[in-house]
Amino acid sequence: MKELVRALLPRAVRPHRILAGPLRGTWLVASWHDYPAGLTGRTERPLLAWFGRHVRAGDTWIDIGAHYGYTAFALARLVGERGRVVAFEPVPATAGCVDQGTRLNGFRQLTVVPLGLGAAETIEPRRLTLRRGMADSTAHVDHAVTVGALFARLDWLWPTLAGADAPIHGVKMDVQGMELDALEGMRQSLARWRPHVVVELHAGVSRERVLELFGSLGYSAAAEPIEPARGERAPLFLDDRSYAFTAV
């Protein structure tokens, strides 16, 4: 039923004001078909509440897999004009929407980078399934639309973007099954700056490898579920749920 209703929604991508929720009134450049939850302000409530407890004015945060910019805009409001947000979005057209929204909202502290993050030592071209404005490696759809995207390693890209000594206070990651690849490419940055990391985990991603990677970098294995399942006492690492990892 949900997909049937979505199919009837307008597909035109244009600027809208978010109707409700924590980002009410913020400009979002998207279509009702692609992102109704964002335009109505119903999405990511637990994550934005977590941001409110952990993001500080003047911080530098990275949004990996920014989609249409909903969480990047939330971070930009929290870090303020003295802070910085760098949003990575590999789909060129979607990155353009985030950039347009950034200008409409006057977020001078937000930089949009039309790249995905991976582990390759050089710029790496990929072709990925396109689903509602996002590159989704978990989608397996007959006759799917694909999109060309470029990926780079954060560890060598960050000094060029921000300077060799620019700290990273936090990372939000939602990369649709490419979590380990992105994390491998930022090992040095995580080890040096020890930022908060919020990762949405997807089907097929090895939880053991994720925990091993964070453990090797000095992060606690007791990740905090952003939206605990009913009765969940410890992280179960469910699909399509976000977990916060903190350095100890």
HEC letters along 18-76: CCCCCCCCCEEEECCCCCHHHHHCCCCHHHHHHHHHHCCCCCEEEEECCCCCHHHHHHH
- So what's the pLDDT on residue 59? 98
Reduce the DSSP state of residue 208 to 3 states and report it: helix
- Please tell me the predicted confidence (pLDDT) of residue 138: 75
Going along the chain from its start, the domains and CATH numbers come out as: 43-245 (3.40.50.150)
Local confidence pLDDT in tens for the 248 residues of the chain: 666 667 778 999 999 999 999 999 999 999 999 999 999 999 999 999 999 999 999 999 999 999 999 999 999 999 999 999 999 999 999 999 999 999 999 999 999 999 999 999 899 999 999 988 888 877 666 567 899 999 999 999 999 999 989 999 999 999 999 999 999 999 999 999 999 999 999 999 999 999 999 999 999 988 999 998 776 666 679 999 999 999 99
For residue 159, which phi and psi values (nearest 5 degrees)? -60, -35
